[in-house]
Amino acid sequence: MLRLLLPLLAAGLAAPAAAAADRPNVVWIVVDDMSANFGCYGEKLVRTPHVDKLAADGTRFAKAFVTAPVCSPCRSALITGCYQTTIGAHHHRSGRGELKIKLPGEVVPVPVLFKKAGYFTCIGGFGATGDRLGKTDYNFEWDRAMYDGNDWAGRKPGQPFFMQVQLHGGKYRGQGPSKAWQARVLKELGSNTKPEDATLPPYYPRDPVLLQDWADYLDCCRYTDKEVGDVVARLEKEKLLDSTVIFFMTDHGISHARGKQFLYDEGTHVPLVVRGPGVGRGVVRDDLVEHIDLAATSLALAGVEVPKWVQGRDVLAKDYQKRDAVFAARDRCDETVDHLRSVRTAEFKYVRNYLPDRPHLQPNRYKDSKAIVQKLRELHAGKKLDGLQERLLFAPKRPAEELYDLAADPHEVTNLAADPKHRATLEAMRKRLAEWEERTGDKGREPEPAAMYDSDMREYLAGGGKKDLDELRRNIELNRQWAKEGK
């Protein structure tokens, strides 16, 4: 891992001189499938010294949120600084078939703006060997030429660079307990996290499969911390650290039954740490920020004009107006159709389920291949889950509206939407969400055209084993049937 992040440069390829202070290098470290389980965010079971030091040397945002809790819509929003619902990139892995998605109006990916400003643009990290780029996963058409390569080593002497380092994060643990992953952790980190020590949210049973998975996930956090240390060490070795702004974040929360793909904090709350010139040291920010703010903030630090179409904000600007709410959306994930929207303030979370007649854990090939989901379904079938777990995970329908008091109920388990005492709050949050949908031109307000769904599903059906494809076909037909029924 990170071969391209720690190259053994030959003498003729020595690192160029640091960029001028007024044109800092910008590095985004983006991690897959991981919540804020780091020491600086209060995680007690594992040590994460490198991310913690990054926070101590910079600014830690305690309340950072993604606008989409699944990879491709999140990354499409991140790289443009726009809500995925505004640019039509809100369905997971969409535009992959013969029907394509193009960015609207003047919107272009952020690397295009950096490149026009003279920056060397690169995206590397996990899997970026040879000429391969790091993970993109954008749902729209884009030109590969917006990236100069997968590592900053190829830039001209003194040329500032914009680098995205993609880390595998929570995906290292795979779809279930892995002896190979546990052996790797033991070899490289010296120990494994003990499953019996794990603390689970109250809506997950303390079953051995779930406990082992959580322990393996925490070891992913430890391994990610090591990789972050490798990146920082390389910058320091090449005398680039003091002229580089580092952003560390994840693309959504832990992949679990109420995390990834869903709008609870387990799926949308992410770590965000920024360190470098122009960034406060040892600062903790408690105001609400969105991951699309990275675009505006990064461009501003580099002295690049932020286009008016960018919906994110420069969170380090002297005249920055703090957000009083953040928004998120979940639409189709793979073959599984859904339509969820949320608005979150510091005090409350409001979730709108536009398809309430569908269950929370709809059939989904990706999710149902996870050992933890298989175990949950097994426990549900055997009537071995408690009342809370049954209600939150396996109720046949969902409420059309959900409202949570985040201070009293951080796990979002008590829905106050029907409580008369909270009627005023419910109506205010409902109105705020509707105004956001209108103001930002939420393209998810209309169902995905059948032709686009069919186009993408043909891509899904083009590969895989017979068992997987049979399951996928069943799920596709179920979603088509539910759509016909208005469900």
- With respect to residue 198, please indicate whether it lies within any of the assigned structural domains: yes
Residue reference for tokens 């996290």: 193
> What radius of gyration, in Å, describes the C-alpha atoms of the chain?
22
Identify the CA nearest to 286 among candidates 322, 257, 240, 310: 322
- With respect to residue 212, please indicate whether it lies within any of the assigned structural domains: yes
Express each pLDDT in 7-53 by its tens digit: 423 222 333 333 445 799 999 999 999 999 999 999 999 999 999 99
Tokens of 303: 């002295």
- With respect to residue 310, please indicate whether it lies within any of the assigned structural domains: yes
Q: Which range marks the domain in which residue 418 is found? A: 1-6+24-449
State the Cα–Cα distance between residues 138 and 381, nearest whole angstrom: 38
Please state whether beta strands 161-167 and 25-31 pair in parallel, antiparallel, or not at all (unpaired).
parallel
State the Cα–Cα distance between residues 277 and 152, nearest whole angstrom: 19
Return the CATH number at 334.
3.40.720.10
pLDDT (0 to 100) of residue 415: 98
Give the mean model confidence (pLDDT) for residues 142-161.
Answer: 97
Q: Are 348 and 463 in contact (CB under 8 A)?
A: no
Number of domains making up the chain: 1
Express each pLDDT in 410-425 by its tens digit: 999 999 999 999 999 9
- For residue 1, give Cα distances in angstroms to 4, 185, 227: 8, 13, 8
Express each pLDDT in 201-210 by its tens digit: 999 999 999 9
- With respect to residue 485, please indicate whether it lies within any of the assigned structural domains: no
- With respect to residue 53, please indicate whether it lies within any of the assigned structural domains: yes
- The one-character DSSP state at 323 is B
- SS3 (DSSP) at 174: coil
- With respect to residue 304, please indicate whether it lies within any of the assigned structural domains: yes
- The one-character DSSP state at 14 is P
Answer whether residue 377 shows pLDDT above 90.
yes
The pTM of this model reads: 0.95
Q: Are 192 and 178 in contact (CB under 8 A)?
A: no
pLDDT (0 to 100) of residue 302: 97
pLDDT (0 to 100) of residue 465: 86
Amino acid identity of 151?
D
- With respect to residue 476, please indicate whether it lies within any of the assigned structural domains: no
Answer whether residue 83 shows pLDDT above 80.
yes
Distance between terminal CA atoms of the chain?
45
Q: What strands lie across the sheet with 59-65, from one edge to the other?
A: 120-125, 161-167, 25-31, 244-250, 269-275, 59-65, 283-290
- With respect to residue 460, please indicate whether it lies within any of the assigned structural domains: no
